Homo-oligomer: A and B are copies of this chain.
Amino acid sequence: MTTPFDWTLATRAAKMNPSAIREILKLTERPGTISLAGGLPSPQTFPIDLFTQACNTVMERDGAAALQYAASEGYEPLRRAVADMLPWAVDPGQVLITTGSQQALDLIGKVLLDKDSRMLVETPTYLGALQAFAPQEPIAVGVASDDDGLLVEDFAAQVGSGVDKARLAYVQPNFQNPTGRTLSEQRRTALVQQAGALGIPLIEDNPYGDLWFGTPPPAPLTARNPDGCIYLGSFSKVLAPGLRVGFLVAPQAVYPKLLQAKQAADLHTPGFNQRVVAEVLKDGFLERHVPTIRALYQHQRDTMLAALARDMAGLDVAWTRPAGGMFLWLRLPEGMDAQSLLPAAVARHVAFVPGAPFYAGAADPRTLRLSYVTASSSEIDTAIAALADAIRAQQAAG
């Protein structure tokens, strides 16, 4: 008998290796380690009792249908609820329920990307999007970005032409993962105008948009040109990620293709989960619930910003000041490398994610991502002090 070592794998498989982040997250499972690495919403925000009640209601009222095969488009009342909650006119027929918004990226890649297709992303960009598009073997090109998000002039410069014309541009305009940045109103207007003029689909991923502190972010790109964008949303950050319920909103011209890709990928998102989410959404629950998440995360962001100001003083470290979301982005002193810093940090019982994997092109090795939503305020204080200590030790050694 032969073994699978004889098997010929797809060429893309050579690039499929356990991600750097996965390996780091394993380290954080050591007892006593405070993780600022993961993007785990705070479990204290999960409305467990309400979910339990919704499970019982769904099973009692609609158990057989909830447990049966269902339409690939999604559960009709949930599609309507999604359409109703979005801030522009959305036909529920344009809403496709996905198994987390991660799956929406997979479907979009299948419909828009061929091998070697050019695609534009922010610098840096969401690592999970790079991974979701990777099976189609596109060429990801980073558009230069600053504190106000992607630079629209560079977007236009990078679009390319002919067969090399970008097939899509992927953006997280609100409290971006990994940087926490928000695309300014002015740039949104300019980006939508440019993308429309150039015929480039904007893939607007908005998992964090509801988690604003103080004032809401500017209107979504899709609201400004629904026919020129595919919008991705998720219940993972405002309800709970473990149900894996997300959605996309797509123009009629590509919706049937995305639907076909969805059907081939997993037939449909669990009907039970869709009904539980629809049940929980009833009576405006999110309007009461989301402000409590905002308040918690704003407090934890403030704790982290204060700790950074205190502990990193004199260290030539810079960081972003997110107006919402879950992450901030830190830049180490000149000559330092976040990947090399990690073992020293883990030895001090704190974990973070080095920034390099978030870049489509050349990475800035000094960058790293910190989450302020999983650890408690007192853990954040401890962790930032430990991180500063690790940086100081590294500087003294270097």
Residues of A participating in the B interface, judged by any CB pair closer than 8 Å: 1-13, 16-19, 22, 38-41, 43, 46, 48, 51-52, 55-56, 59-60, 63-70, 98-100, 102-103, 106, 110-115, 117, 128, 131-132, 134-136, 165, 167, 196-197, 199, 201, 225, 227-228, 236, 240-244, 251, 253-254, 256-257, 259-261, 263-273
In the complex, A56→B52 CA distance in Å? 6
Q: Which 10 A-B pairs have the closest CB atoms?
A: A67-B240, A6-B199, A43-B64, A48-B63, A67-B242, A16-B260, A55-B55, A131-B264, A4-B253, A52-B59
CB <8 Å contact, A51 and B69: no
Given known A-B contacts A10-B110, A48-B63, A100-B267, A70 and B242 have beta carbons under 8 A apart: yes
CB <8 Å contact, A11 and B244: no
Contacts of A256 in B (CB 8 A): 16-18
**Count of chain copies:** 2
Give the dominant DSSP class at A's interface. helix
Closest Cβ of chain B to A334, distance in Å, is: 34
CB <8 Å contact, B60 and A225: no
Closest Cβ of chain B to A296, distance in Å, is: 15
Closest Cβ of chain B to A162, distance in Å, is: 11
Contacts of A269 in B (CB 8 A): 244
Contacts of A41 in B (CB 8 A): 68-69
Contacts of A18 in B (CB 8 A): 256, 259-260
CB <8 Å contact, A63 and B46: yes
Contacts of A98 in B (CB 8 A): 266
Closest Cβ of chain B to A298, distance in Å, is: 21
Contacts of A263 in B (CB 8 A): 19, 22, 131
Question: Which among A102, A111, A134, A242 has the highest number of chain B CB atoms within 10 Å?
Answer: A242
23 pairs across A/B with beta carbons < 8 Å?
A: A1-B227, A2-B227, A3-B227, A4-B201, A4-B254, A7-B199, A12-B110, A16-B111, A17-B256, A18-B260, A22-B263, A56-B56, A67-B243, A99-B244, A102-B264, A102-B266, A106-B264, A106-B266, A110-B135, A242-B271, A242-B272, A244-B267, A266-B266
